[in-house]
Structure 1
Amino acid sequence: IYRGSEVAFRVPPAPASWKPLSVSDAAVAYRDEANGATIALNGRCRNEDDVPLVSLTNHLFLHFTEREVLKQEVVPFDGREAMHTVLSAKLDGVPKVFDVWVLKKNGCVYDMLLIADPARYAAIEPAFTRMVRGFSTLPADDD
Structure 2
Amino acid sequence: MRRPLRRRPTAGGSAAEAANPRARLLALTVALAGCGGPSFDGTIYRGSEVAFRVPPAPASWRPLSVSDAAVAYRDEANGATIALNGRCRNEDDVPLVSLTNHLFLHFTEREVLKQEVVPFDGREAMHTVVSAKLDGVPKVFDVWVLKKNGCVYDMLLIADPARYAAGEPAFTRMVRGFSTLPADDD
- The alignment's TM-score, normalised by the length of structure 1, stands at 0.98
List alignment gaps of at least 5 residues for structure 1: none
Larger strand share, 1 or 2: 1
Q: Number of matched residues? A: 143
- Given candidates 143, 153, 167, the residue that maps to 1:124 is 167
Deviation for aligned residue 1:127: 1.1
Contact 1:49 1:108 in 2 (8 A): no
- Aligned residue in 2 for 1:111: 154
Contact 1:74 1:81 in 2 (8 A): yes
Counterpart CA distance in 2 for 1:131 and 1:49 is: 29
Contact 1:48 1:109 in 2 (8 A): no
Following TM superposition, the consecutive aligned residue runs of length 4 or more in structure 1 with deviations greater than 4 angstroms are none
Contact 1:49 1:104 in 2 (8 A): no
Counterpart CA distance in 2 for 1:37 and 1:130 is: 15
Deviation for aligned residue 1:122: 1.1
Counterpart CA distance in 2 for 1:48 and 1:59 is: 15
> Are residues 142 and 49 of structure 1, via their aligned partners in 2, closer, same or farther at CA, if it must alter by over 3 Å?
farther
Identity of aligned residues (%): 98
Larger helix share, 1 or 2: 2
- State how 1:1-143 maps to structure 2 within 5 Å: 1-48=44-91, 50-143=93-186
Counterpart CA distance in 2 for 1:45 and 1:112 is: 15
Q: Deviations over 1:44-72 (max 9, x none)?
A: 00134610000000000000000000000
Deviation for aligned residue 1:13: 0.7
Give the structure, 1 or 2, with the largest relative contact order (CA under 8 Å, sep 6 or more): 1
Q: Deviations over 1:62-94 (max 9, x none)?
A: 000000000000000000000000000001100
> Are residues 49 and 77 of structure 1, via their aligned partners in 2, closer, same or farther at CA, if it must alter by over 3 Å?
farther
Deviation for aligned residue 1:20: 0.1
> Are residues 134 and 48 of structure 1, via their aligned partners in 2, closer, same or farther at CA, if it must alter by over 3 Å?
farther
- The alignment's TM-score, normalised by the length of structure 2, stands at 0.76
RMSD: 0.8
- Larger-gyration structure (1/2): 2
Task: Report SS of the residue matched to 2:104.
Answer: coil
